[in-house]
Amino acid sequence: MRSHANPKLRPLKRHDLVYLDPARWDAVLERQLASDRTDPLIRSWVHKGWPLIARRPMAHETEGISLGLPLPPALGKRRIPFIVKPGDVLAVHEPTSVSSARGHAPKEWQRTFDELEFFAAHRQVELQVFGSLAWQALTGLDYLTLSSDIDLLLCVRSPTDIELLSSEISGIEDQSPNRIDGEFVRRDGLAANWREFLLGSDEVLAKSIKGVALIDRRKFLVGDFSS
């Protein structure tokens, strides 16, 4: 889903893909980077049409929009932090869907994706990817390694039995060549790792663009599913 021209159309969420105005990118680099600003990949990043990713602001970041630029393993696998102005942003996209990214994944992962998409269709869960597979699909650069996790966002759009969903994902992982990492994500952006719901504890660690907190697992399950 795409938001045009103004990021204030909706609040940013973790993992949102933020596309910047190429005409403003050089100025962003000049404001914030020293040695890295001459790196040809970084300097050309936005001009290639590639996004940055929304992230949680650090304590000292009280103004602007907090973003990250993740470099591939060959360049140190660093995530370079940026603060940009609202006027620097052209568009905001939701994270990449599994269906559009899976063609960039190893052939050994394809059976796992078949099972995940069957699971998602029957459980009314929307599947998105983040991490190495997402960035490989977005840029064409080599982010995936033999040990890469399958990083998933499991978007829950209606109240459901998340413990059951977690159990079913665990069963898919048992047959997967790589570890399945990821989070259940509510419509309002609050997220918790799917493994948290296998542990049976009263609280889960919930994350949002604003912070991290332990919450009653029942509050996460009930959630706010208003549009």
Mean pLDDT in order along the chain per 10 residues (227 residues) = 50 95 94 73 96 93 92 92 94 96 97 97 96 98 96 91 95 98 94 93 93 90 57
- Same domain as 192, residue 136: yes
Q: Same domain, yes or no, for 87 and 125?
A: no
CA distance 8 to 15: 16
CA pair distance 199, 92, nearest whole angstrom:
35
pLDDT value, residue 225:
47
Please tell me whether residues 66 and 129 are part of one structural domain.
Answer: no
Number of domains in the chain: 2
Q: Is residue 50 part of a domain?
A: yes
Domain final residue, candidates 93, 124, 146: 93
In the prediction, which pLDDT does 6 show? Answer: 54
Q: Are residues 120 and 145 in the same domain?
A: yes
- Count the neighbouring beta carbons within 10 Å of the beta carbon of residue 141: 15
CB-based contacts of 58-65 (< 8 A; 24+ apart in sequence): 65/7, 65/12, 65/18, 65/89
Domain that holds residue 119: 98-222
Structural domain ending residue among the three candidates 30, 62, 93: 93
pLDDT score of 95? 97
**Is residue 34 domain-resident?**
yes
Residue 158, pLDDT score: 81
The dihedral sign for the CA sequence 128, 169, 13, 23: negative
Q: What is the pLDDT of residue 15?
A: 96
Give the pLDDT confidence score for residue 227 in this predicted structure.
39
Task: State the pLDDT at residue 84.
Answer: 95
Please identify every residue annotated as catalytic: 149, 151
Residue 227 lies in a domain: no
130 and 37 within one domain = no
- The token pair at 130 is 């983040």
